[in-house]
Structure 1
């Protein structure tokens, strides 16, 4: 399941859903600024900006919003040739509010066309032949159609011996129940070589109350490379039952949206360009780099 053969490939395939973020401009949450986003979009764009061949798999509507999103991603040098266009799909919207401390919080998710997803029959297997990494998140797992498509994509990635990267990126408001969320994500964790989750997601998935307890449970998952982001506290990497941590950086936080995606993009970039970390030093350098990229992302508005 997690075997790797030929790593002398190039490029990353990301599968997900384009989301338009409406991020609050004030603590009253009465004024919002529009940004193209979604975890997988953020990662795909960041990789393209690093000069890595970045292909995005999704379904978009052919209305004004859908065309705009596609053009924006093409302008970012993301390969959208495998994007499926339909007359009925509408772009999803996420509203991000500020709390009393000025921190960003996920408030609501609106999907006008909840049953419109990229189908496994719409995937061209040839794009996986020479690609090095496949990346996905839990945003394609809470709906039966997209979950089946995710299964097909992972089968192709495994057949062509790719590195598989998974960001748990949990949004419980999308799920039927917390228990279904946990069960589903646990099944897909076992398919990945790289898994990234936030500290609160670690505690949620492990049913624990501290990072130490959570990591003790996570060891049993036998994930080759697990990364846990902790915001201003830094980040932790778990590999071969060894923990490596890096402290947070002192930066002025403008908007925390997309910080985890920036971290994940930096991790994938390093695995893509340098291969699997071969030593503790390699992993320490990777963790420090990814944590720095994540910290830098919070100093400006918007996930990108």
Structure 2
């Protein structure tokens, strides 16, 4: 197979060094590479998947730091553009009591909003096996139009589309527009990840009833995966298969990026199955039995658990051997 193409934001997370307090009370922050799609790109590379990242960062110290970090971790960054038109986006993050996170984004505009159609040229999209993205890019132009055009190219070429809904209310302003854009993105996706809260927002229900309602409304989706933090994860397929897997007990330091580690690991399992069977990634997802899907979710849960043990999102992403070691230990 060719590669996974990841498109969207790369940014710097400024993570609080004082856990349990709101941003207003934080005294010091740690600079960490981040951005949900960029996290998935690095997560895939660490698991051994060939991956290209397309996005825009500022031609500034933070942007150069991000580009270098992705390259050092095996990501093809030839499509990662530096711009002088805007600064690299910063996201200040506080981990509150009970695992709740608080965000403040410095992005008016951020360089990541300046993704253009020429960044996602048709040839790059059509040669990919998977196009992965989130919804943050859809909040602003010109990134929105560039990403939508790439999704149409992917559909025409039979490229599997992977979507992490990753709703961040602070970046949208208008909740109604956010819902419209997220639903439009789901319409164009084959593989979709949502949190329990995002499922409730999109379907008006949680649990299996919400998942079936979302699948009924979006007929292209072949596999819907729901993450529930400490309660593990579960999935429902278009062909009726379903599975669930518990999480792993670890001491959480920073939950930022746990969902990205989870999704990179699940995409790796689907990539591995597709490569072995000689079929598109979406077809490998359709063919998974409930038992195979449960094993894939367990592997992904282990990756997510490993990612919360240290501060930062991208820096915490595990390797395949680390994930396999935790899965084996948890199976004893």
TM-based fold match above 0.5: yes
Q: How much is the aligned-residue C-alpha RMSD, in angstroms?
A: 1.7
Distance 1:19 1:200 in 2: 24
From 236, 244, 268, give the equivalent of 1:238. Answer: 236
Q: Which has the higher helix share?
A: 2
1:82 and 1:124 in contact (8 A); partners too:
no
2:7 corresponding residue in structure 1? 15
* Contact 2:232 2:246 (8 Å CA) reproduced: yes
1:224 aligns with 222
Query: 1:142: how far off?
Result: 0.9
1:300 maps to 2:310: yes
Work out which of the residue numbers 104, 110, 116 in structure 2 matches 1:108: 104
Partner in structure 1 of residue 298 of structure 2: 288
**Aligned partner of 1:214 among 210, 216, 223:** 210
Name the SS of the counterpart of 1:81 in structure 2: strand
Alignment-derived partner of residue 3 in structure 1: none
Cα deviation for residue 181 of structure 1 reads: 1.0
SS at match of 2:79: coil
- Give yes or no for contact 2:54–2:119 (8 Å, CA) kept in 1: no
Q: How far apart, CA to CA, are the structure 1 residues paired with 2:119 and 2:62?
A: 21
In 1: Cα distance, 2:34 partner to 2:42 partner: 10
2:49 aligned partner: 52
Q: Which runs of 5+ in 1 are unaligned?
A: 1-8
Question: Does the 8 Å CA contact 1:199/1:230 hold for their aligned counterparts?
Answer: yes
Which TM-score applies when normalising by structure 2? 0.84
Deviations 1:214-241 (A, max 9, x none): 2242231342100000011010101123
Asked whether the equivalents of residues 202 and 214 of structure 2 are also in contact (C-alpha less than 8 Å), the reply is: no
In structure 2, the partner of 1:40 is 37
Q: Which residue, 141, 166, 170 being the options, matches 2:163?
A: 166
